[in-house]
Chains A and B, each alone.
Chain A
Amino acid sequence: MNKKTDREEAMDAAEITVVCRCEDVTLEEIRDLIREGYTTAEEIKRITRCGMGPCQGRTCRELLLAELARASGRKIDEVAPTKYRPPAKPIRLGGIIEGDSSDLG
């Protein structure tokens, strides 16, 4: 486990739940958007950037779907997921032309 940063500790103390760590999106923000009437994962992803960071939504994607499922009283697999976009892992632009396959994961 990585040691928590100062900011993360402060957020823990304030009981702020971060859903997307790359883009710093909290559960409260997501709930606010659902309350405003945004009902699809695609829209919430686009407004908050939840899942758009370098990790490509590895954990937050599921958390967002779970929250939408709970709010709508559906099962998680009944909520339309967001599309996966390539690349699966970040690739350095310079590496692409050098044909550096070590970057390709």
Chain B
Amino acid sequence: MIAVTWAETVSSAVSEQLPKTADAVVIGGGVVGTSIAYHLAKKGFGSVVLLERSYLACGSTGRCGAGVRQQWGTRLNCLLSIASVRAFERMDEELGYGRSIEFKQGGYLLIAYTRREMEQFTKNVELQLSLDIPVSLLTPREAGKIVPILNTDDIYCATFCPTDGHANPFHVTYAYATAGRRLGAKIHTFTDACEILTESGKVEGVRTNKGTISTKVVINAAGPYSGVVARMTGLDIPFYPERHQILVTEPVEPVLGPMVMSFSRRYYCQQTPHGSFIMGMGDPKEKPGFLTSSTWEFLVEMAEEITKVLPPIGELSVVRQWAGLYDMTPDAHPILGGTPVDGFYLACGFSGHGFMLAPVTGELISEIVCDEEPSIDIHGLDLGRFERGELVIEPSVV
């Protein structure tokens, strides 16, 4: 057996010096930051450096449900997620990662438990169909055919889109990082962005715990810490972190194809290709903050809810529970694009669906940074919308 030693293996992350200059610096090594670094490198933007203060995917990305759906209530979210689904579909091939990102298109089954929700679903389906999303409105009986273990008692209706699904968030992040590095992007883990240097309203550089990089372009992809990073340039963004808890069971043979989700009851549950069930629930009492501890109360609430929704799951054992942070904005849409600080860009505020939007975000931000017309019109997602009072309210979130 050949012994492996650090000297022959160690990646740029540990051994390489931080460069003195860069054409662009991305702050944050989650799925969004790595996607941006990859897309910038792919465009040949120049030298791209990504800074991650811990290891890749240690933040929200590594803690998320990793669901990918196109069933949204606003045109913009639909368009963004359609583009992302296409990217996930070809990702194994495009990024040449060597492992699979485990994209499973088992669909999303969204359940309506109230009349109001049913009315909203009817509107959503009309919008989604107009954008060629292959969705259908189902009776409770039809929903039960798609998920035989579903308790259909209190259901008004459901919607189903077979091309929705979920992927493995670690693999997606590492795949972007691997492909980005291959194209010349430098990824520096355990490197903390401490200060953004500006002069007369322009970005001049980033000071880190490992030295200073001078650059004219900084992209804020710091997930729940995006507010903190924005403040380094003097900008206050309407943004707050919020804890969400989640758990995983032991693996069993495949019994659940789609992700099952309810907005009014705030739960979601999926079975991964590995066989385990991943499920989470929003808590309306949760206060904004950076806390990521997990609680016994969540276990009890989740267990109560899921045994009502999918009764046979009650027989499964929980092997791990954890918590992560949603990156919330007032209208549950991300903030994408430039800012009043020249050279400072935002890719944050994904409000609990940044995993699925990461592929299209990388594409759009790289277009904006390269001064190209973005392939999807996202000027409504700029930071200015909050001041202008032009919020894009998304009705369908957990």
Contacts and interface: CB of A to CB of B under 8 A. Distances in A.
B9 interface: yes
B315 interface: yes
A99 to B, nearest CB: 9
A47 B5 CA distance: 20
B13 A47 contact: no
A29 B133 CA distance: 40
Nearest to B317: A90
Contact of B62 (A39, A46, A53): A46
B322 interface: yes
Given A46-B62, A47-B171, A85-B322, A31 B4 contact: yes
Contacts of A91: 299, 317-318
B5 A93 contact: no
Interface in B216-249: 249
Contact of A93 (B2, B10, B99, B303): B303
Given A93-B307, A97-B300, A46 B57 contact: yes
A105 to B, nearest CB: 11
Contact of A39 (B2, B13, B314): B13
Interface in B300-325: 300, 302-304, 306-307, 313-322
B126 interface: no
Contacts of A27: 1
B4 A90 contact: no
B263 interface: no
Contact of B314 (A47, A72, A93): A93
Given A71-B4, A93-B307, A43 B56 contact: yes
Interface centre among B5, B302, B317 (most CB of A within 10 A): B317
A54 B317 contact: yes
Contact of B319 (A37, A38, A47, A53): A53
A28 to B, nearest CB: 8
A85 B303 contact: no
A87 B316 CA distance: 14
Contact of A42 (B58, B299, B304, B316): B58
A30 B3 CA distance: 12
B5 A86 contact: no
A98 to B, nearest CB: 9
B4 A94 contact: no
Interface string A72-89: 110000000000011100
A54 B274 CA distance: 13
Given A46-B57, A49-B274, A86-B321, A96 B170 contact: no
A35 B9 CA distance: 5
Contact of B316 (A34, A53, A86, A92): A92
Contact of A43 (B9, B55, B304): B55
A94 B319 CA distance: 14
Interface in B9-38: 9-14
Contacts of B2: 31
Contacts of B322: 85
14 contacts: A34-B9, A36-B11, A38-B11, A39-B6, A39-B10, A43-B55, A52-B320, A71-B5, A71-B6, A85-B294, A86-B294, A90-B318, A92-B315, A93-B316
Given A42-B58, A43-B56, 7 more contacts: A37-B10, A56-B320, A71-B4, A90-B317, A93-B306, A94-B314, A96-B300
Interface of B: 1-6, 8-14, 55-58, 62, 99, 170-171, 174, 249-250, 274, 294, 299-300, 302-304, 306-307, 313-322
